Amino acid sequence: MSDLALSAAIRITQAVPTPAPTTPGYSGDEADITPTWVGFVATFLVAILTVLLLVDMNRRVRRVRYREEVRVKLEAEAAEAAASSSQKKKS
């Protein structure tokens, strides 16, 4: 079985491929296959909207991060105030 597979692999790799028939080039008007100015405008709008979306996302992520930092700071201050008031009561 191994010899059969090996000989088949050798035959396949040594086979000369027959060239595929070539199709004739496009002979019509090039304006029919190019995107013209409409394609440029559509691509430009998608690019602008993507940039605006990324800027907005960055702003929102930054705002959430700042809120978290403020929350942690306020919790730490509250814990510190509670600890100092409990020490004053003990004294």
Q: Is residue 25 assigned to a domain? A: no
pLDDT tens digit sequence for 50-61: 999 999 999 999
Q: Is residue 5 assigned to a domain? A: no
CA separation for the pair 77, 86 (Å, rounded): 14
Q: What is the DSSP letter of 1?
A: -
> Is the pLDDT higher at 18 or at 72?
72
End-to-end CA distance of the chain: 93
Mean pLDDT of 4-28: 75
Q: Report yes or no on whether pTM surpasses 0.75.
A: no
Q: Is residue 57 assigned to a domain? A: yes
Query: Which pLDDT does position 85 carry in this prediction?
Result: 80
Total structural domains within the chain: 1
Determine the structural domain holding residue 54 and report its residue range: 35-91
Query: Which pLDDT does position 25 carry in this prediction?
Result: 72
Q: Is residue 59 assigned to a domain? A: yes
What DSSP line would sit under 27-75, residue for residue? -S-GGGTS-HHHHHHHHHHHHHHHHHHHHHHHHHHHHHHHHHHHHHHHH
Q: Is residue 45 assigned to a domain? A: yes
